[in-house]
Amino acid sequence: MKAKFKPQRILWLDMEMTGLDPVEDFPIEVAMIVTDWGFTEIAHFEGAAHWCSKKMQARFDKNKSFWYGDGATAREQLIAQNKATKITKAQLERDILAFLDEYFDDTPILLAGNSIHQDRRFIDHWFKKFSKRLHYRMLDVSAWKVVFEGKYGKKFAKPEDHRALEDIRGSIQELQYYLKKVKS
């Protein structure tokens, strides 16, 4: 009989990417928050890898509808961050793995977030060692959003910062909002 998957902690993750294509686009900012099931923040991580500025700008230009409207401020912040960091993708993955080692044992990790499958596609493509640490099950807040908006007309007013760490905190608040609706 297969052992049951009962994680004690949740790894909340958000990435800021140049676009949504995990092959053509690339992750420019990664943030993670470790919580328990009461959603108490235990630790957080923020990291960024340096990418060729011309390639990054070309991908931003390709995805104008996202990055040149409400995302313009975040785009400028991410460009400045990219210029300031010298961390490679390989070093960023090592930093991520070190963070995971500090807060998780060897069992597969439950990944959580909004539309987390999209972030997972980038993890699978760009961070293979990190990908191997994750369980196939994920906690996707977007599924809750779809049900509550479609069935009950309830909508959570989540701020759209387009910065990874604050987006995660918004996702945690959003899930708490839906769970309170279930209790009432």
- Give catalytic residues, as residue numbers: 136
Rounded CA-CA distance 12/174 in Å is 13
Radius of gyration of the chain (CA): 17
- The pairing of strands 109-113 and 41-47 is unpaired
Contacts of 30 (CB under 8 A, 6+ apart): 13, 14, 15, 45, 46, 47, 48, 92, 96, 164
Are 77 and 83 a contacting pair, CB within 8 Å?
A: no
